[in-house]
């Protein structure tokens, strides 16, 4: 069994460590020789169709839904097309407005999730072009979709998704850049800059993994608590939602992710002495505002751990209890580094509580009932 796990104690740990490779594999063959342009060889959508897209709906469940939240911001920032992200099990109930100019993107690691498949069929029946981002090319979702972008994360065994999620982010970056090229919403230089930053991600993930001992200490500091909150703004908020799900899934600690600015509209009432709060503060333009939310938490006795860039750590340490730093990347790409830190925190919290990391209670890897 340990051989299967490549010497790691758990599949989740192994899969967290496979992310640098998964990033590379998902990018391979999708960036041209110059390194400055995205190419999607198997893509069926014509440039004409891409230019005609009026709106995009991203549909998924669980962790894939959280990747879709990042995808929304990525596509809107790069391409300026309105994007909505929906939980697949809810999508049909709001009578979504689908036209022939609607692109529906379904995201699914397994490609077999019943809710996502049902939403895909509904979108198809209403005339949408459907693109699937999936880790299993022979899956039902891949078969039913009009276009597929395969994430090349390799088989994911642990119930808590890690490398599939981050590979989905890579797929969204590539897709966003590709659409931006076709629609001319980014200059060649901007695309090249983002691709260069993406090429650096695998090494940056390695550098986070090299410091997992620090994450273990932080996790052990909060793992005895009953409640925990994650806060962030922008893409930090999207990443916070995934971090919170990860923690719940495998440590059973009750956690909630809040948009940092929304905390004061209710949830702040739950902050009292000793309540741990993990604050993501990588979105440079929003840091100041996030810091004022951190101060609100501190004033009520909350214990704050911040995930931030190395260069901001010194300043942030004036307001928080501890920091876990990540290497700097472009604002658009931040979740693909910050979430790795959050995965490590969850993993070590679960481990220190002696829980079954790879097979949490009540959960299944792939859910084929609605
Ligand atoms: C299950 C898993 C989650 C996963 C979700 C969606 O609930 O436990 O980890 O995110 O299904 O799975 P999919 O295969 O569609 O990405």
Residues 137-196 have pLDDT tens digits of 999 999 999 999 999 999 999 999 999 999 999 999 999 999 999 999 999 999 999 999
Output the CA 62–ligand 1 centroid distance in Å: 5
φ and ψ at residue 48, rounded to 5 degrees: -60, -50
C-alpha distances (whole Å) from 161 to each of 8, 166, 311 are: 16, 9, 30
Could you tell me the mean pLDDT of each successive run of 10 residues in the chain, 370 residues long?
82 98 97 96 94 98 98 98 97 91 98 97 95 97 98 96 98 98 98 98 98 98 96 97 98 96 92 96 91 94 97 94 97 98 98 95 91
Output the CA 34–ligand 1 centroid distance in Å: 36
CA dihedral 19, 365, 151, 2 (to 10 degrees): 40
Q: Which atom of ligand 1 lies closest to the CA of 110?
A: 14
45, 149 in Cβ contact below 8 A? Answer: no
Among 60, 61, 151, name the best residue to mutate to test ligand 1's pocket (greatest count of ligand atoms within 8 A of Cβ): 61
ipTM of the complex: 0.98
**Cα within 13 Å of Cα(302), Cβ side:** 28
5 is catalytic: no
- The H-or-E segment that residue 258 falls in is strand 254-259
C-alpha distances (whole Å) from 109 to each of 43, 74, 116, 336 are: 19, 19, 11, 16
Whether the predicted model's global pTM rises above the 0.90 cut? yes
* Ligand 1 and 26: CB distance under 6 A: no
* Ligand 1 and 161: CB distance under 6 A: yes
Output the CA 28–ligand 1 centroid distance in Å: 25
Q: Which atom of ligand 1 lies closest to the CA of 364?
A: 8
245, 65 in Cβ contact below 8 A? Answer: no
Closest CA to 364 of 163, 161, 167: 161
């Amino acid at each position: 069994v340990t051989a299967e796990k490549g010497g790691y104690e758990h599949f989740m740990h192994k899969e967290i460590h496979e992310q640098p490779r998964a990033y590379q594999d998902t990018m391979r063959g999708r960036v041209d020789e110059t390194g400055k342009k995205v190419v999607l060889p198997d893509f069926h959508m014509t440039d004409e169709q891409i230019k005609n897209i009026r709106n995009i709906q991203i549909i998924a469940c669980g962790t894939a839904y959280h990747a879709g939240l990042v995808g929304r911001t990525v596509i809107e920032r790069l391409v300026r097309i309105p994007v909505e992200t929906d939980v697949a099990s809810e999508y049909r109930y709001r009578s979504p407005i689908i036209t022939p100019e609607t692109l529906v993107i379904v995201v699914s690691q397994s490609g077999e999730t019943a809710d996502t498949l049902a939403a895909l069929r509904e979108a198809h029946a209403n005339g949408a072009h459907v693109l699937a981002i999936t880790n299993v090319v022979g899956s039902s979702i891949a078969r039913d979709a009009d276009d597929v972008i395969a994430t090349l994360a390799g088989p994911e065994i642990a119930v808590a998704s890690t490398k599939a999620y981050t590979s989905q982010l890579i797929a969204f970056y590539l897709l966003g850049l590709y659409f931006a090229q076709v629609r001319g919403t980014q200059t060649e230089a901007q695309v090249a800059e983002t691709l260069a930053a993406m090429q650096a991600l695998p090494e940056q993930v390695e550098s986070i993994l090299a410091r997992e001992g620090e994450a273990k200490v932080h996790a052990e500091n909060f793992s005895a608590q009953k409640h925990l909150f994650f806060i962030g703004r922008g893409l930090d908020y999207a990443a916070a939602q995934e971090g919170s799900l990860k923690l719940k899934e495998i440590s059973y600690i009750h956690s909630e992710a809040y948009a940092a600015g929304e905390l004061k509209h209710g949830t702040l009432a739950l902050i009292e002495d000793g309540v741990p709060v993990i604050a993501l503060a990588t979105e440079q333009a929003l840091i100041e505002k996030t810091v004022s939310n951190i101060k609100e938490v501190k004033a009520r006795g909350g214990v704050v751990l911040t995930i931030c860039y190395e260069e901001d750590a010194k300043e942030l340490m004036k307001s928080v209890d501890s920091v876990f730093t990540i290497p700097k990347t472009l604002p658009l790409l931040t979740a693909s580094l910050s979430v790795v830190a959050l995965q490590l925190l969850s993993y070590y919290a679960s481990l220190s509580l002696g829980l079954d990391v790879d097979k949490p209670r009540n959960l299944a890897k792939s859910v084929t009932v609605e």
